[in-house]
A = this chain, B = another copy of it.
């Protein structure tokens, strides 16, 4: 087992709309996986033909099964070759099949022991499919370890600096934060109390209104974050003004790189295409030109080492990221111990 990843976990593989008529190939926790919509629904297979090892994702879906681009062997949902254009399908021609679930516009894949795959363990991101909301999605490939992306999302104080032009708040120095845990779920909130709206809120609230602005994150295993941003009247947390949810679904690609799927979902201005466009532009700049370069530069400095080996200075605002890393490390250790015991038991 290589890579510092949890195997027994549901990882986001793609947005639903990414998998249409053509198969989609993507590397997840080091495994090359191909996903397609087959005769009986969504399928995820190892993306390597057992004949000459060409990626199956170069092929096409024909008659509801996946046809290899090179010599036309066809594979069904269980990974078995079910058609050979020039003879019988060879018995040994079978590729690994991965449990896969599609829910709320997200395609999730289980990379561990199929017997342990429980679709009920997929974290709740149902707001993504709520027709009463306006949801804008996106994707970025990031050349940085997925845990650096979790750190980023677990410590939202960075918005004051990385996203200064959109999000800097004059209430920053009065920031109040909290971190709490519920089983393996880590919550964290930061509130900018009684301040004027940051630039990105001014188009909705004007520049002068005083507000409390709170961002609450919910981290769930392995590396997914739901962020709820809420504007309330100063000192009156129940007096809701506006708010939005966002999804930050991070999937390790391999050592040192990850897939970052994001979505912004609001309950106001639904159907307003211009507002969608503004969000899309913010995502492009905020993730593409601000977070991504920081994460990738950080990765270059950290290199192949675990960041903790470099003995970083830890700040109180790291509390959420530290807990998430600890839970993840324990689960990975337990899983590895399990596989070792299993391996010993096999003998």
Contact = CB atoms under 8 A, between A and B. Distances in A.
Given A158-B71, A161-B69, A315 B85 contact: no
Count the copies: 3
Interface stretch (A195-203, A207-215, A229-237, A297-305): A297-305
Contacts of A53: 298, 301-302, 307, 310, 312
A86 B315 contact: yes
Interface stretch (A35-43, A87-95, A105-113, A255-263): A87-95
Given A161-B69, A161-B72, A162-B69, A51 B87 contact: no
A48 B157 CA distance: 19
Interface string A42-75: 0000001011111100100000000111111000
Contacts of A72: 160-161
Nearest to A173: B85
Contact of A86 (B86, B157, B297): B157
A313 B51 contact: yes
A33 B219 CA distance: 35
A172 interface: yes
A316 interface: yes
A275 interface: no
Contact of A71 (B50, B51, B161, B302): B161
B51 A298 contact: no
A317 B312 CA distance: 52
Interface in A296-347: 297-298, 300-302, 307, 310, 312-313, 315-317
Contacts of A48: 301
B90 A315 contact: yes
Contacts of A32: 301
A151 interface: yes
A68 B161 CA distance: 8
A91 to B, nearest CB: 9
26 contacts: A32-B301, A48-B301, A50-B313, A51-B312, A51-B313, A51-B315, A52-B307, A52-B312, A53-B307, A53-B310, A55-B301, A58-B297, A68-B161, A69-B161, A70-B158, A71-B155, A71-B157, A71-B317, A72-B160, A85-B173, A86-B157, A86-B173, A86-B175, A87-B315, A90-B315, A93-B313
Q: Nearest 7 CB-CB pairs, A to B?
A: A53-B301, A93-B313, A50-B313, A54-B298, A72-B161, A55-B297, A90-B313
Interface of A: 32, 48, 50-55, 58, 67-72, 81, 84-87, 90, 92-93, 148, 151, 155, 157-158, 160-162, 172-173, 175, 293-294, 297-298, 300-302, 307, 310, 312-313, 315-317
